[in-house]
Structure 1
Amino acid sequence: MATVLLVEDEAALALIIKDSLEMRGFTVQHAADGAQGLRLFRQQTPDIVVADVMMPQLDGFALGRQIRQENATIPLIFLTALSQPTDVVRGFELGANDYLRKPFSMDELIVRMQALLNRTAVSTATAASEPLHIGRYVFAYTQQRLRLTDTEIELTNREAELLKRLYDHRNQVLARSTVLLELWGQDHFFNGRSLDVFVTRLRRYLRDDPQVQILNVRGIGYKLIC
């Protein structure tokens, strides 16, 4: 079973989460703040990180940023009482794979963790080693880089995953609900707003090749034309 790095400063909640995960076969390392969490992450890379956002010394967002600089693919879930769309977007911008608002049920957390672990295993086994060509752009999915001649853009985990799905469905319609369920875990308003932000960002990255477009298909989803 997977090894989990749990970074949570609320002792009672951390104990509940740790016990619940261990009862289901997970191995759990617990850190009481972000700084300790980063030390444990570097000592023994876990299979998945579950981190609170509001923490002393090093908050969850700062921890997530550092983790993403060192490891682009490890699944990362934020736990938080913050509920504004801007907070959710910021979390995904920093490379989070999922965002779970407190209070939450343990069953929901475990389902989301397992989905991410399964997705990571499939991606690792099937990711193309050769760069993908999107018009004049070269997309290195596993390295999360997008290049046009001498210009290179480093993508976040979420940007790379979204672009890969658009590429896999290029010149076809990719359902909005499919993207939300696969990358955000739920199809609801706040996640939809976050998805719109990421699509806009990808359009900006791809704007230097007029032959490449990401079209809105009203009421259905998106289509990458290349």
Structure 2
Amino acid sequence: MCSSAVEANNSRLLVVDDDPELLLLLRDELSQQGLKCSSAACGSDALLMLRQERFDLVVLDWNLPDFDGTEICRRLRSSNDTTPVLMLTANDDVDDRVHALDLGVDDYLTKPFELKELHARVRAGLRRGQYASSERSKDSLSLGDLHIDLIERQVKRGDHALSLSRREFDLLAYLVKNKEVVQVRQQILESVWGAPFVGDPNTLDVYVGYLRRKIERPDQPALLQTVRGVGFIARCPAADPDLTKA
């Protein structure tokens, strides 16, 4: 087998195989190409890692000691996880390949394989994932574990769906769209309520209060923070003496 360079980037791969020698080979080979690789030797470990971490591609063996790779893919897709999956298998039956693709497998590589083909398919999988992510980002926003679906106008924090009024949603979407940038009060009012803003400026404080009661968690720092004398900022928590939840 001969190798072909995989373009170095910050992509994270999860390699899943119960053959320790092959698992080590795959992990070392892909890591040497500049990719960040984690590994698992069974389906249950792989699913746990996929729930806890974000990966850009899963290189997945079909036959695993607890359940097969198609079941892992089925569970991923049923939970709306769109991480690209490259399936590795010695099974070259057409019906099995069709079944795997129907369950959401993105690509299929039959053993034994050349490393240069593995590299090419990994590159293709990463490209597909990056394109899908860029398309989804046009329709959604996120801040830590807070996710906003701009099309369905739905908000989740972790797995918990939040019920927001129309104005609360618009305010949250505006702040998160401009996350990590301080937004002055008048700018927020005119952008969310309309320009020129006519009304009580304290309306903004009232709605920020509504949002905080719905989206914040008492055991974690605030996502919506006050910048004294200026306005508000949506940001992932970080120590800053000039920012406060109050």
Q: Give the TM-score range, shorter chain.
A: 0.5 to 0.7
| 1:183-222 alignment runs, 5 A limit | none
Structure 1 segments, 4+ long, off by >6 Å, are none
Partners in 1 of 2:41 and 2:132 — Cα distance?
31
1:73-111 residue CA offsets vs partner (Å, 9 max, x unmatched):
211011000111111001101101001000011221111
The CA RMSD measured in Å over matched residues stands at: 2.1
Q: Greater CA deviation, 99-108 or 120-129?
A: 120-129
Contact 2:57 2:129 in 1 (8 A): no
Please give the secondary structure, in 1, of the residue aligned with 2:109: strand
TM-score, structure 1 as length reference: 0.54
Please give the secondary structure, in 1, of the residue aligned with 2:31: helix
Partners in 2 of 1:72 and 1:22 — Cα distance?
24
Contact 2:43 2:69 in 1 (8 A): yes
The answer to whether structure 1 residue 112 and structure 2 residue 126 are counterparts is no
For residue 19 of structure 1, report the CA deviation from its aligned partner: 0.5
2:46 maps to which residue?
Answer: 37
Out of 55, 59, 63, the position equivalent to 1:50 is 59
Distance 1:57 1:126, change over 3 A: closer
For residue 53 of structure 1, report the CA deviation from its aligned partner: 0.5
1:160-219 residue CA offsets vs partner (Å, 9 max, x unmatched):
xxxxxxxxxxxxxxxxxxxxxxxxxxxxxxxxxxxxxxxxxxxxxxxxxxxxxxxxxxxx
Partners in 1 of 2:45 and 2:81 — Cα distance?
20
Partners in 1 of 2:134 and 2:47 — Cα distance?
27
Out of 15, 18, 24, the position equivalent to 1:15 is 24
Gaps of 5+ in 1: 130-141, 144-226
Gaps of 5+ in 2: 1-9, 140-150, 153-246
For residue 118 of structure 1, report the CA deviation from its aligned partner: 1.4
Opposite residue 124 of structure 2, the aligned amino acid is: A
Partners in 1 of 2:110 and 2:16 — Cα distance?
15
Partners in 2 of 1:61 and 1:123 — Cα distance?
21
| 1:1-226 alignment runs, 5 A limit | 1-126=10-135, 129=139
Opposite residue 117 of structure 1, the aligned amino acid is: L
More helix by share: 1
Partners in 1 of 2:135 and 2:47 — Cα distance?
29
What is the percentage of aligned positions where both structures have the same residue?
Answer: 34
Number of equivalent positions: 132
